Structure 1
Amino acid sequence: ERALLCCVLLSAWQSAWGQLRYSVPEEMPKGSFVGDVAKDLGLQPPALRDRGVRILDRGGAQYFALQKTGHLVTAERIDREQLCESVPECVLRCEVIVESEMQIYEVEVEIADINDNAPSFKDVDMQLTISEMTSPGSRFPLRDAQDPDSGRNSVQRYELSGDEHFSLAVQAGPGGDRRPELVLAKALDREEVAFHDLVLRGMDGGEPSRTGTARIRVAVLDANDNTPVFSPAEYAVRVPEDVPVGSVLVTVTTIDPDEGSNGHVKYSLRKISRRASELFYLDPERGEISLKDNLDFEGGVSYELEVQAHDGGGLFDTAKVAIVVTDVNDNAPDLTVSSSQGAISEDAPSGTVVALLHVQDKDSGTNGDVRCSLDRGFPFRLESLRGSYYRVVTSRELDREEVSEYNVTVRAVDGGSPALWSIAVLALRVLDVNDNAPMFAEESYSARVPENNAAGALVLTVRASDADWGQNARVRYRLAEGRVRGSPLSSYVSVQAETGAVGIITLHEALDFEDTRSYTLLVEARDGGGLVAHCEVEVEVVDVNDNTPEI
């Protein structure tokens, strides 16, 4: 039977709206199989790493892990009663992101209950005082047995053993719970028997059944003919979540016309959840319910207490106290970057996704309504996706030569008064595309060179710049081919190719004024991406007196 409970119960998963649902019993060891996410998403295991499939980390407890095989497994042993106290259906959620698709899948895992807890009584030794004048058939509420398990595994029935003066009745509470009551079956006689010792057993419906036991001692007292009466019988109070610790939230009162100990009323909490017992304190004498710990609207919206007033003769009355916690805007929006690009090409088309963001606010109502926006003046826009997701996309093509990097601030503001906000900054580098040709500093150049200069002499320098970056901005120079008097132009002058921004033109051999008086050069500047620019250079040869007259 235990082996059957440990088997993973896979429920049908549904892909609509990007959701997967599984079921697994509680208390399974770490690493237990939950579901085949890869199969259910139609992904082969080799593609998981390439597509960036992972579980999103929201900063809270991680109960599941995604293996390389695509199997979802438990990250730790899960105790349903610890996580989902008093919740009929215990569902844990996580989110799986496929980064290559910018797609989020919500995974719901139902934690199925197993019968791992026995019923238990808060007080294993109960003390009751009953007047000997009490009529047979009178009923006295007893402490419920508590069982954190749910459904059939919770408390199902009670048994009483002891003597013939008492029997047991079980009433159904407002929430369907079973409440034991001690019924006086036979009139009491204090002079005959002053104390009655009984045993109460609470049993769950598990297989096998588990049992909890409490001992009851009934002390028989003299007559007390007036019962305390609450006025009113029900209390309701609304409390803001930021009320200071120690504040009195409500005071319950009763009327009992008896005198002495029979009219002295004390108060106690008959039915209270574990969390409520940590938050509230009831003064047994004054009936004041005060705050012991800080309230948190996000941790609990309402609490229902049952207060019992009993006098010195054992008579009692019960009242309900409903405490409703109202929300205060004490949580700023939580804005996280689920995925982002660190760099983008400047020729990326408009609408390119650069980041995926998630925003949530733990507050409720207008305090939890969040608006997201981008700083103005940037070529980006914000698009709302399913649920609480947004993506940042380009609103036009980028120009690296205009702006080479951006720090884009996304702001999330809630609807509280005053509003709370948070920001996320996206650092984005713009990658260069070779979209700029070199440009000469001047459209044309001219130089005067004396004839007979030695080879290697400087003619002039030309300068070209390129607005691009890196290899795209690296400029090389060369001379266009041409001929002078039948000889290649390059036999007279040359330009150094690898000189960066400056092209240096030098002589290959000495020029002769009497041979050629001027040269027209066409200089080409080419960048690393293949874009070119040209300029003309006019070289004038200056005559020197190097010839003697002939007669």
Structure 2
Amino acid sequence: MSINYSTYTMPRHKLLHTHYQLFAFALISIAPLISSETNRPPVFTQVLNNIVLEENAAVGTVVAQLQGYDPEGSNVTFGAIGSEHFEVDPITGVIKLIKPLDREEKDSLLFYVTIRDRVNPDGESEQDNIVQVPITIIVLDENDNPPEFQNTPYETDVNEDAAIGTTIFNQILVTDRDTIGESLDLKCLPQEQSPEACNKFRLEPLSREPTVLKAAVVLNDTLNYNQRMIYHFQIEATDGVHKSQTNFEVRVKDVQDKPPVFQGSLSAVIDEDSPIGTLVLKVQARDGDTGEPRKIVYDLLTNPMDYFLLDEKSGELRTAKPLDREALPDSTGLITLTVRARELVNGTASSDALTSTTAQATITIRDVNDSPPTFNKKEYEVSLQENTAPGTPLALDMNVTDHDVGINSKFSLRLDDVSGVFEVEPKYVNGFSQVNIRVGNGTLDYENPNQRKFIVLVIAEETDTKPKLSSTATITITVLDANDNKPMFEHESYSASISEAAAPGQYVTTITAKDVDSGQYGDAGIRYSLSGTGAELFHVNEQTGVITLADCQATVAVGADGRAGRQRRQLHTQTDATDYASLLSLLNMDNYSQMPSTATTSTEEVDNEQPNAALFNALDINTEPTVEYKVVTQSEARSSINDVISETAATAPTAVVPTHLPTMLENSATATVRPTTPTSQAEIVRRAEVPRTCLDYETETTYFLSYKATDDGGQGQTSVVPLRISVTDANDSPPVCESP
């Protein structure tokens, strides 16, 4: 028996049409009519309906699995009808999502699933049984859509005098297609062209539903049409996850309460040599209130140096007299004028704050080359020392200025200096500079009469103009003397002579030097002096250079050789015989002899001219054996007081010297004999001095001295020459008897 499968199926267009209507059915099962002779249709053992699936389920998600069997035991296959979002695996019956879901388009999906057996094992045929069952998929919402602004664009007009708190717009409407997520909220976002907009306005919600928000824009601060005529800002809506924005424009409407407003440029440039009446600029202003603007008139409130005139009706600004850029206090050539615009109220110019306004007009006077570079003085005077080092600047307060600008202020500096001694810095100047005059490579020499005064001309001349304007300044430079030369003697050495018999104060010679410096540095400041052995015997006048014999009072002791000046004297000896006896003999001979012991006083004459004479010989007769004392060294003719001039020694080594020796007296004690040690040693010590003359040919025939000349009063530079003074012999010594 055959089965008409069409009785178990439904046309596709009807399925597609009715899947929206079968949502309420929990399970629809269509079973075929079966006769005892037919092949029974397959049966679903598990079909899920009203399956819930999240909107954001990924493609490939397994939704469910169909199960069924054929009563005759034939193999069955599964399928789907009427769905573009799902597919069914024919073998396993697994239902998978093959296309993304969108709950905002459909919140549920209806389609049919099928199960089919095979009558013919060779494949599908018209004899196969097909059973179809409807399935509904319920799509759960996800927050996957941003809020949406309705009724856009948003814009409004508001009067500038609107009160704070005024609602200026109440048509903001925001919707959200999603049913889940946070409540809708609004936020103001400022824009670059009007960053203060969100301070001027605020957003206030009017009503709030889960997916709908209504709001208004409220004035939050005062408005000023003159400050800003249009405000732009953005309104941002958010559902906690997604955001969206829309623009809002507020146009501020003017109210008739504003003063005039200047228009156009209020700056101009005019040449310095422009003729009188030249048009500089045209001042323009309009009524600040655009509703019913009034006529405007103009005037000048400030007009430095009265250079300009302003026409009150046309606003034309013209020159009133010749311009002088260099006379302006501002070196840039800028003049600032205060211009006033006033509204005519009933034909009369009004001056109150709501009908008048002022502005600054800036006029730049363009330079023309009409000013030469100029020094701060025409003449300068300065002094400097001749030894000033090269490169040293002169002590001048010099500067130079060209009041022009640009290339008109560029100039060079140079010197008209025939000496070539000086240099100028800088070489090139732009506008203004301090000027330094320095000593160049030349050497200043006061001793050269041509270099004691210089007159130098400083020339400043423009470099890039035609004609090249210039000016000069004169510098008078006086060179001061410096102590840079030492005294100079005429000869390299000098000599003089004087008799040994010359009296103190006797003229010897005059030696002078010359110094080419001036004043104390020159001849007037030279001081002379002597140094060297014997210099004390001579006196030099430190200013004149006259050398004379000094008024010397030199004395010398009586020596062991009898030299005590060039005179014959009586010498007395005394023997103290209390402890022992000794005899002192002063002999004019080279040998000595023993004298008998006695306690006597004897007198002998001593000749100073006999060299190497034995001074005394003493015999002590109170000792056993007898001890003899004799001279063993010669005294020096010029010994100082208390110098040892001779010593004695005993001939007998075993002799004992008395604890003290007798005193020898020459009138008032000339010499002393005293023991030096407990042994047989004794000394003869000088006790007195004898006056003598300054020069003694027999003692010194020549004196080699250094003669010095020092300038600057003895504190400056010095020159030294050797001076030789020869002593000439005089007939001042008697004959001398010599020993046979």
- Length-normalised TM-score, structure 2: 0.29
Question: Structure 1 length as normaliser, TM-score?
Answer: 0.37
Task: Indicate the structure whose relative CO is greater, using CA pairs within 8 Å and at least 6 residues apart.
Answer: 1
Higher radius of gyration, 1 or 2: 2
Q: Would you tell me which structure has more helix in proportion to its own residues?
A: 1
